[in-house]
Homo-oligomer: A and B are copies of this chain.
Amino acid sequence: MRIDKLDTPAVLIDLDVAERNLRRFQTYLDDHGIANRPHIKTHKIPALAKWQVALGAKGICCQKLGEAEVMADAGLDDIFVPYNLIGRAKLERALAMARRVQLSVACDNADVAEGLSSTFARAGMELPVVVECDTGMGRCGVQTPQEALRLAQAVDRLPGLRFDGIMTYPPRGQVEHVSKFLQATQDLLAGAGLDPRVVSGGGTPDMWRAHEIQGVTEHRAGTYIFNDRASVAAGAATLADCAMTILATVVSRPTADRAVIDGGSKTFSSDRAGEGYGHFLEYPEAVLHNFSEEHGWVDLSKCARRPRVGERVRVVPNHTCVVSNLHDRMIGVRGDRVEATWDVTARGKLQ
């Protein structure tokens, strides 16, 4: 089938571009001896996770147990969940998952470590746990290398847990600071006889500098498979590297300078990345400046050529991960031909 037979809006993935993205980053990591552990939140599709593994990824990273369960059901068998798991329901599910795949998790405080410990010790199992470090992002994570050491020692002492290493989600553009924090932590751990088997870095924005993190053993990037306007803004990719586009129709042309397309925040999300919400392949000067849920508001004032009602356009979104979560299906294309339709099986998994 050809793209022009698809109804709109629809999420298209250019398979040639995605494959090039995957191969290029895998090669980079291979060259530096860093394991690739892609974050599947970007696509939430088992077939794409398997593609990443087939091309050389060591395992995958899932931010929620619900996503990990979908991936485990599909045969992915090495899964890292970098999230503080709390509460009986999630702990029992983590235990069930650890019985069938190589599961590891992160934690950033002793309460979470104790919950994991009591669950896994009671089952006679040992869960690999890495300590999450806040290297400047300002989200989760211990605040200092000293705190990382204390939590690592607590994990090491707790039954049912195995201290496995350290991880961070780094703030963009602060590679030196991140590296220093993690190096100081590794030094403290070594001094205490605690060997971090895993030093896990992450993110697409600074992915080409992954090797500058001292002692890094693996990298978790998500967006790199598709890329988006945020990756381009971060300098990690070019527009030609953006594999995801939204196929949309111009449904209204109320004024000479205004078009409205049939995709809004329900299709693109409201995530920001520079000016506007998307880049029009056919009308690079058009600005997607506002959304309602089902309408994209387009300013054509800088366009010499302008679309008519009924015309179809393709738009690179700001942030692919949140787009994937909004959609039940995505469509793989090569050129103007549809090659695959995937259910986004792991979308909407909250818990």
Contact = CB atoms under 8 A, between A and B. Distances in A.
Contact of A322 (B84, B266, B328, B348): B266
Interface string A301-319: 0000000111000000000
B350 A41 contact: no
A215 interface: no
A217 interface: no
B255 A140 contact: no
- Copy number in the complex reads 2
Interface stretch (A27-35, A85-93, A154-162, A174-182): A85-93
A309 B350 contact: no
Interface in A1-28: 7-10
A83 B251 contact: yes
Interface string A261-294: 0110111011110000000000000000010111
A244 interface: no
A139 B295 contact: yes
Interface stretch (A108-116, A120-128, A191-199): A108-116
A335 interface: no
A303 B348 CA distance: 32
A197 to B, nearest CB: 23
B325 A251 contact: no
A260 interface: yes
A150 interface: no
A129 to B, nearest CB: 15
Nearest to A271: B270
Contacts of A270: 269-272, 322
Chain A interface residue bracket vs B: 35 or more
Nearest to A291: B271
Contacts of A300: none
Contact of A253 (B109, B251, B265): B109
A34 to B, nearest CB: 23
B327 A348 contact: yes
A190 to B, nearest CB: 24
A58 B266 CA distance: 27
A82 to B, nearest CB: 10
A134 interface: yes
B143 A255 contact: yes
Given A7-B90, A139-B297, A309-B109, A265 B271 contact: yes
Given A293-B325, A309-B109, A143 B84 contact: no
A9 B269 contact: no
B294 A140 contact: no
A63 interface: yes
A139 B260 contact: yes
Contacts of A326: 325-326, 348
User: 3 closest A-B pairs (Cβ-Cβ)?
Assistant: A84-B251, A140-B252, A270-B270
Interface of A: 7-10, 41, 63-64, 83-84, 86-87, 89-90, 108-109, 111-112, 134, 138-143, 249, 251-255, 258, 260, 262-263, 265-267, 269-272, 290, 292-295, 297, 308-310, 321-322, 325-328, 348, 350-351
13 contacts: A7-B89, A8-B351, A41-B293, A111-B308, A139-B297, A140-B295, A143-B254, A265-B269, A269-B269, A293-B321, A293-B322, A327-B350, A328-B348
